[in-house]
Copies of this chain bind each other. A is one copy, B any other.
Amino acid sequence: MSYRSGRHFLQIPGPTNVPDAVLRAMDLPTIDHRGPTFAELGERVLDKVRVVFKTEQPVIIYPASGTGAWEAALVNTLSPGDRVLMSETGHFAALWYQLAKRLGLDPELLPGDWRHGADPEAIARCLAEDEEHRIKAVCVVHNETSTGVTSRIAEVREAIDRISHPALLMVDTISSLGSIDYRHDEWGVDVTIAGSQKGLMLPPGLSFNAISQKALVAAREARLPKAYWCWDDMLGPNANGFFPYTPATNLLYGLDKALDLLLEEGLENVFARHDRHAEATRRAVRAWGLELLCADEREFSSSLTAVLVPEGENADRLRQVILDNFDMSLGAGLSKLQGRVFRIGHLGDFNDLSLMGTLAGVEMGLACAGIPHRQGGVQAAMAYLAEEAEGDQAKAREQRRIA
Q: Which of B251, B351, B382 sits near A364, CB closer than 8 Å?
A: B382
Docked pose: A17 CA to B354 CA in angstroms: 15
A367 shortest CB reach to chain B, Å:
4
Identify which of residues 352-391 in chain A touch chain B, using a CB-to-CB cut-off of 8 Å: 352-358, 360-361, 363-364, 367-368, 375-376, 378-379, 382-383, 385-386, 389-390
Residue interface bits A314-339, CB-to-B below 8 A is 1, else 0: 00000001011111110010000000
Is there contact, CB below 8 Å, between B34 and A332? yes
Is there contact, CB below 8 Å, between A68 and B228? yes
A162 shortest CB reach to chain B, Å:
33
Is there contact, CB below 8 Å, between A228 and B64? yes
Is there contact, CB below 8 Å, between B24 and A102? no
Interface size on A, residues (CB 8 A): 110
Contact A227 to B353, CB < 8 A, known contacts A28-B23, A203-B30, A265-B3: no
Q: Which residues of B contact A383 (CB under 8 A)?
A: 367
Is there contact, CB below 8 Å, between A1 and B357? no
Stretch from A35-43, A126-134, A164-172, A298-306 contacting the other chain: A35-43
Is there contact, CB below 8 Å, between A32 and B10? yes
Docked pose: A6 CA to B269 CA in angstroms: 14
- A31 located at the interface, meaning its Cβ lies under 8 Å from any Cβ of chain B in the complex: yes
Q: Which of B14, B27, B248, B273 sits near A27, CB closer than 8 Å?
A: B27
Contact A328 to B353, CB < 8 A, known contacts A23-B29, A65-B247, A378-B360: yes
- A398 located at the interface, meaning its Cβ lies under 8 Å from any Cβ of chain B in the complex: no
Is there contact, CB below 8 Å, between B7 and A29? yes
Is there contact, CB below 8 Å, between B356 and A360? yes
Docked pose: A296 CA to B215 CA in angstroms: 49
Is there contact, CB below 8 Å, between A246 and B195? yes
Q: Which residues of B contact A31 (CB under 8 A)?
A: 8, 10, 15, 329
Q: Which residues of B contact A356 (CB under 8 A)?
A: 356-357, 360-361, 364, 378
- A226 located at the interface, meaning its Cβ lies under 8 Å from any Cβ of chain B in the complex: yes
Is there contact, CB below 8 Å, between A204 and B63? yes
Is there contact, CB below 8 Å, between B349 and A353? no
Residue interface bits A45-79, CB-to-B below 8 A is 1, else 0: 00000000000000000111111100100000000
- A225 located at the interface, meaning its Cβ lies under 8 Å from any Cβ of chain B in the complex: yes
Is there contact, CB below 8 Å, between B250 and A203? yes
Cβ-closest chain B residue relative to A69: B228
User: Besides the contacts A9-B353, A17-B30, A32-B329, what 6 more A-B pairs have beta carbons closer than 8 Å?
Assistant: A5-B270, A18-B30, A65-B228, A102-B227, A353-B361, A356-B361
Which positions in A face B, CB cutoff 8 Å? 1-10, 12, 14-21, 23-37, 40, 62-68, 71, 80, 98-99, 102-104, 195, 197, 203-205, 224-228, 230, 244-251, 261, 264-265, 270, 273, 321, 323-329, 332, 349-358, 360-361, 363-364, 367-368, 375-376, 378-379, 382-383, 385-386, 389-390, 392-393
